[in-house]
Structure 1
Amino acid sequence: MDLLNVAGELSGTERQRLLGIRQVAQHQVRKQSVGYWDREEFPTELIGKLAELGLGGLQLGDSSHLLRGLIHAELARADISISSVVGIHNELVLGMIRDLGSEEQRAQWLGKLAGFEAYGAFALTEPEHGSDIAGGIRSTAQRDGDQYVLNGAKRWIGMGTFSDFALVWAKDEETSQVGAYLVEADRPGYSASKIEHKIGLRSMQNADIRLENVRIPVANKLPGVTSFAAANQLLMQSRAWVGWQAVGAMMATLDICSEYVAQRQQFGQPLAAFQLIQQPLAEIAGNLSACLSMMGDIARKQERAELHMVDAAMAKSTATRLARDSAALGRAMLGGNGIVSDFEMAKVFCDVEILHTYEGTYEINSLIVGRALTGVSAFV
């Protein structure tokens, strides 16, 4: 539900594309995703449907930032795990190779990635360093003739269990400069293991990755990465994308709750007739509309190349906070049925917890905004 008609700002062609994606997401992905989520299984079949829509190469097209954002929202509206796969694939893997890779790397991988014929993993976070990763990278790369030798460990790496390669952020032992290295998953010394027992984004296959004397050609180093500043640019855009995911989560909450309260009978009438139901529904709609408006502004800044980290941090922290509040209201509205995935709300409720935490925790993004407001850094 788009009460502000933000999609009305799209061109006619873009509106038609968005509508087509919405139809597929709602009728061929939404209900079908529940079983994959329950089993913690990657939804290969469902990703295939999105490949047919060209969503593996969303980042390569000439569509507007507003359309791309609304597409991410529509995917999250259907399933947040699947939207994470599409977003990370485009924003952090395909986009990184396109913008920071060599001609050879682009020629080898962009076509395959665009068709979801190959997957990559964005390997930045480490077991002991998450929020402080900018100064805490411990993974290393050592030059040895015409090769680099990589050692270290990475954690929470999306699609890391089955990706064809990982884009590993590591520190050059000789220069202490941070670089990025394309490491194929079949290299000796490279291993990935699935992180089990997650409460959310259960279809997303997060991994622990270990690098033990992994040798790669010098040509596998991404030439566009000469410092951690490159990672910050990527994270800025991905935080804006998570804001759109939060919009989709609120759309899903409103969809699920509106359908449920119209059908569920209590005390001889539909739940929708009760004030205690209408009030939280209105609050969820308000949260959604506020975030849609904010994310529309973010898209316009992106079009003008005027997006700054403080903008992305505020969008990510605010939208995920309101999505979390909305999901809590929605889960309560469904009563006991709100705690089982069969009714979908429990799945959204749990997935939103991950949105609140990943791509920079709520607290870290809030401190980025606080630093901009006060001129004083609260980071150690």
Structure 2
Amino acid sequence: MSIIQDIRQVIALLKQVDLKQLKALNEKVDLAGAMQQLSKMDAAQLQGLMKMLNSGGKRNKPLPEPNPDFYELSDKLTAEQRALQLKVREFMETEVAPIVNEYWLRDEFPFELIPKMGDLGLAGVTFEGYGCPNLPYMMEGVLAMEMARVDASIATFFGVQSGLSMGSIYLCGSEEQKQEWLPKMNRMEKIGAFGLTEPEVGSGAAGGLTTTCKQTADGWVLNGQKKWIGNATFADVIIIWARDVDSGEVKGFLVRKENPGVHVEKIKGKMALRIVQNGLITLKDCIVEEKDRLPHANSFKDTANVLRMTRAGVAWMAVGCARGAYENALEYTKTRKQFGKPIASFQLIQNHLVEMISNLTAMQTLVYRLSELQDEDKLKDEHASLAKVFCTLRTRDIVRGAREVMGGNGILLDYNVARFVADAEAIYSYEGTKEINTLIVGRSITGFSAFV
């Protein structure tokens, strides 16, 4: 086909436009100039223009659906487990997503969500009896991911309730204590907190607890402080870990909110997990009855058993935070246009997106295997620690990339990624810092302990 024939076809298409449309077009486009440019085009350029005009400027095929589960790891789940995953996803998208930025900005907790979460009946995910679901550890992780995908604060609230607090009672409590607390905590009629970290003791909790307990004729007397305790400002019961001044052993206690000698002050000014209500707990001659001492918590090894059980969930939370940031960023790049086309079509933006999905896929593969080890009763401290280190590091990379592809909009709460960027910093630090978890893995692979 000659260039003259190509131009004639273009003119023929333009002739199909009525005068009203042509007048409106002339107001937007310099038609004389356009015809001059047409005469300068070669055959290939004109054929491209013809193809665009004939298709109405539309893509020949729709854009692919977003698939953050790039290696289809959800295929590992049964149909029932997949349905539960999607049920929690729907809850997070319909009940949490519309209000989360408002509460995050105000540094407040959406208490209206608690009974709705209780209706799900999922707290104490892996526990048997007491109204708990008795699901595999795999599902505990998947549900943590789904919650953190929308909001890491809500995932943290649930993790404290379901894992740390209920887990302490489940692993270390008496049958009477389990019967009293676990069914109500499963339904979220009672809220729990977990008090281990202290103002001057975080990573060194194993050997450096300064909160003390002493047995007397009236019960146990607790003195000391706990800091960064999630849910503490409104919890009905706080698990307090203290060192026995007589034996030196670490013991666990159920401290009820009505106990005299307990004062909780909300920690303000946080830049991350702002919905989580962290408290500074002061215990001054706090009397706890013997019936509220956890009978199977008699050393820090018992505390570590609870932490080991929940640390895998933190790795899953990191995956959820990263996934939420990636999904928001991917959707943004498909709709945000610069230079006349979506920025997702640019090479540099695709490079960022591919780096994000690569890291996310590696993280997902790791945590799925981690939960398989846990379900096979093969989980070791170093397994959980490696996952916590790797996933929280890669989450930092992913949220940074998500913020970058969104440009200035990336720092606005309206686009969600700014919240993920901030919350990733908290996930990176809690349940064992990168350094402490690194030393746990290092000790395992070398045989040498580098702890001080």
Alpha-carbon contact 2:160-2:231 (below 8 Å) kept: no
State how far apart, in whole Å, the 2-side matches of 1:10 and 1:26 are: 21
The answer (yes or no) to whether the contact 2:201–2:209 under 8 Å persists in 1 is yes
Q: Does 1:289 align with 2:356?
A: no
Q: Which residue does the alignment assign to 1:138? A: 210
The one-letter code of the counterpart of 2:105 is: D
- How many angstroms apart in 2 are the aligned matches of 1:43 and 1:186? 23
Distance 1:47 1:246 in 2: 23
Contact 1:47 1:82 in 2 (8 A): no
Summarize the alignment of residues 209-288 of structure 1 with structure 2, pairs less than 5 Å apart.
Answer: 209-288=281-360
Deviates more, 1:191-200 or 1:88-97: 88-97
The AA in structure 1 aligned to 2:95 is Q
Please name the residue that 2:225 is paired with.
Answer: 153
1:12 corresponding residue in structure 2:
79
Q: Which moved more, 1:366-375 or 1:272-281?
A: 366-375
C-alpha separation in 2, matches of 1:262 and 1:233: 45
1:85 corresponds to which residue?
157
Q: Give the residue type in structure 1 aligned to 2:109.
A: F
Structure 1 distance, partners of 2:303, 2:361, is: 31
For structure 2, the residue ranges without an aligned partner over 5 or more in a row are 1-67, 127-131
Letter in 2 for 1:208: L
Question: How many residue pairs get matched?
Answer: 380
Please list the CA deviations of residues 135-162 of structure 1 after superposition, one character each: whole Å capped at 9, or x if unmatched.
Answer: 1101111111141111010001011111
Structure 1 spans left out of the alignment, 5+ residues: none
1:345 match: 417
Q: Which has the larger radius of gyration?
A: 2
CA–CA distance in 2 between the matches of 1:171 and 1:325?
39
Cα distance in structure 1, aligned partners of 2:141 and 2:280 = 29
- Matches of residues 57-68 of structure 1 in structure 2 within 5 Å? 57-59=124-126, 60-68=132-140
Q: Deviations over 1:183-228 (max 9, x none)?
A: 1112111000011010100000001000000111111110111100
Measure how far apart 1:263 and its partner are. 1.1
RMSD of Structure 2 on Structure 1 (CA): 1.1
Does the Cα contact within 8 Å between 2:124 and 2:163 map onto a contact in 1? no
**Equivalent-residue separation in structure 2 for 1:246 and 1:57 (angstroms):** 20
- What is residue 59 of structure 2 aligned with on the other side? none
- The match for 1:200 is 272
Other-structure match for 1:50: 117
CA distance in 2, matches of 1:248, 1:232: 24
1:326 aligns with 2:393: no
Indicate which of 188, 191, 196 corresponds to 2:260.
188
Alignment-derived partner of residue 98 in structure 2 = 31
What is the TM-score of this pair, normalised by structure 1? 0.98
Residue 112 of structure 2: SS of its match in structure 1?
helix
Q: Distance in 2 between matches of 1:99 and 1:368?
A: 23
Q: Which amino acid aligns with 1:212?
A: K
SS in 2 for 1:314: helix
How many Å separate the matches in 2 of 1:142 and 1:27? 48
Q: Distance in 2 between matches of 1:183 and 1:285?
A: 44
For the 8 Å contact 2:233–2:278, the answer to whether it is kept is yes
Structure 2: distance between partners of 1:19 and 1:165: 31
Higher relative contact order, structure no. (Cα contacts within 8 Å, ≥ 6 residues apart) = 1
CA distance in 2, matches of 1:170, 1:216: 12
Q: Give aligned-pair identity as a percent.
A: 39
Which residue in the other structure is 2:442 paired with? 370
- How far apart are 1:46 and its partner, in Å? 2.6
* Displaced runs of 4 or more, over 3 A: none
Aligned partners of 1:239 and 1:316 also within 8 Å: yes
Give me the whole-angstrom Cα distance separating, in 1, the residues matched to 2:434 and 2:340.
Answer: 42
Amino acid corresponding to residue 308 of structure 2 in structure 1: M
Distance apart, 1:284 and its partner CA: 0.8
**For the residues of structure 2 that align with 1:64 and 1:309, how far apart are their CA atoms?**
19
Distance in 2 separating the partners of 1:80 and 1:28: 15
